[in-house]
Amino acid sequence: AAADVILAIETSCDETSAAVIRGGKTIMSNVVSSQIDIHERFGGVVPELASRKHVESITLIIEQALEEAEVELKDISAIAVTQGPGLVGALLVGIVAAKSLAMALDIPLIGTHHIAGHIYANELVHDMAYPCMALVVSGGHTELVLLASEGEFRVVGRTRDDAVGEAYDKVARALRLPYPGGPHIDRLAHEAEEAIELPRAWLESESYDFSFSGLKSAVLAVINQTRMKGLELNEAALARGFQESVTEVLVTKAMRAAREYGAKQLLLCGGVAANRGLRSALAARCEAEGLPLLVPPNSLCTDNAAMIGAAAFLKLKREQLTGLDMKADPGFSL
């Protein structure tokens, strides 16, 4: 178990990644090849292009991961792969590679949930304690997940429309900023001297769900009205107003959920965890309330295979293996 060496593969969206993880904790390699330069000009991920690029890269990325880890295929004890959620054509590329390896080497195959990966990225750098609450924020997801014990997930809140990262990218696009727009909005928000006040979507008072499409529409309305009146738009103030609205709702709901479920830790993960406004606001609230906050380094927040290896290790430990007839599951539930 502690000596188990997992080769993990992640191809659910626009990153082709392979990693070698020992004992569920030690990253021996984590190779990530981003396709951003391909999708950039379209302002978002084009599924067909993503699959094709994964096919081109996957073998090379796996070889590189083995090489960097200084291991050979005979040293690998199991193959982990993202089974879903994600783009079906993209997932399939990783799955086919994983199945072939598991079959050829006659070792276990572990289909892994992408969000479990984002959450267990924390275990690669911290020691998780249960129960804990995870705030998962990325381009495809916005979820509050309760972990009552190791590997036991319960989604207590989720977005009803856009994911946070998606909202960031759409707002950035309206401001004619490059894709992905999250980091640009984050930077503008920090440069701003003032904020344009925007609404907060609290939904029903008891709900841990989120909604960002109304906020996005409010931002677009400000942009359109300003342009129509021929006025100059204070883009930084708008970015800051948007970021403040997003952050306040995320932080408030995450803290309330952590308290209600007696969480010993709050985990922040997914690509949007890189957001400076969100990180600092959450850190301040956790500090004030004496709740430990766990955040992986940025390289483990964005999509990568190391996190898939970390989550798969728990399943391997419990012998929760996946058959070779495994299928991509774009709507895979935790």
> Is the distance from CB of 172 to CB of 182 less than 8 angstroms?
yes
Pairing mode of beta strands 142-149, 132-137? antiparallel
Q: List CB contacts of 188: < 8 A, sequence separation 6 or more.
A: 175, 235, 236, 239, 240
Rounded to a whole number of angstroms, the minimum distance from the CB of residue 220 to ligand KG4 is: 17
Chain-centre distance of CA 75, in angstroms? Answer: 29
Contact track, Zn ion, 135-174, x by CB under 5 A: ---x------------------------------------
Nearer to Zn ion, 27 or 188 (CB): 27
Nearer to ligand KG4, 180 or 241 (CB): 180
From ligand KG4, Zn ion, none, interface partner of 120 (C-beta below 5 to 8 A by class): none
Please choose, from the candidates 247, 162, 156, the residue with its C-alpha nearest in 3D space to the C-alpha of residue 206.
156
The answer to whether 325 is a known ligand-binding residue is no
Rounded to a whole number of angstroms, the minimum distance from the CB of residue 263 to Zn ion is: 22
Nearer to ligand KG4, 158 or 317 (CB): 158
Q: How far is CA 320 from CA 139, 304, 306, in A?
A: 29, 22, 19
**According to the binding rule CB under 5 A, does residue 303 interact with Zn ion?**
yes
The answer to whether 136 is a known ligand-binding residue is yes
The answer to whether 126 is a known ligand-binding residue is no
Please choose, from the candidates 182, 183, 9, the residue with its C-alpha nearest in 3D space to the C-alpha of residue 80.
9
Q: From the CB of residue 195, how many other CB atoms can be counted at a distance below 10 Å?
A: 18
Nearer to Zn ion, 105 or 334 (CB): 334
Q: Contact residues for ligand KG4 (CB under 6 A)?
A: 13, 138-140, 165, 168-169, 180-183, 186, 270-272, 274-275, 302-303
Q: From the CB of residue 317, how many other CB atoms can be counted at a distance below 10 Å?
A: 14
From ligand KG4, Zn ion, none, interface partner of 24 (C-beta below 5 to 8 A by class): none
From ligand KG4, Zn ion, none, interface partner of 111 (C-beta below 5 to 8 A by class): none
Q: How far is CA 107 from CA 7, 99, 176, 286, 324, in A?
A: 11, 10, 49, 43, 11
- Tell me which stretch binds Zn ion (CB under 5 A): 173-181, 219-227, 238-246, 301-309: 301-309
Q: Hunting for tokens 């998606």 — which residue is that?
A: 166
Q: Return the HEC string of 227-247.
A: HHCCCCCCHHHHHHHHHHHHH
Q: List CB contacts of 6: < 8 A, sequence separation 6 or more.
A: 20, 21, 22, 24, 76, 77, 78, 79, 80, 110, 309, 312, 313, 316
The residue number with the shortest CB distance to ligand KG4 is 271
Nearer to ligand KG4, 8 or 13 (CB): 13
Nearer to ligand KG4, 84 or 270 (CB): 270
The answer to whether 205 is a known ligand-binding residue is no
Rounded to a whole number of angstroms, the minimum distance from the CB of residue 202 to Zn ion is: 26
- Tell me which stretch binds Zn ion (CB under 5 A): 77-85, 132-140, 164-172, 305-313: 132-140
The answer to whether 30 is a known ligand-binding residue is no
Q: What is the DSSP letter of 177?
A: P
Footprint on this chain of Zn ion (rule: CB under 5 A)? 138, 303
* Positions at the binding site for Fe cation: 114, 118, 303
Binding residues: 114, 118, 136-140, 169, 182, 186, 275, 303
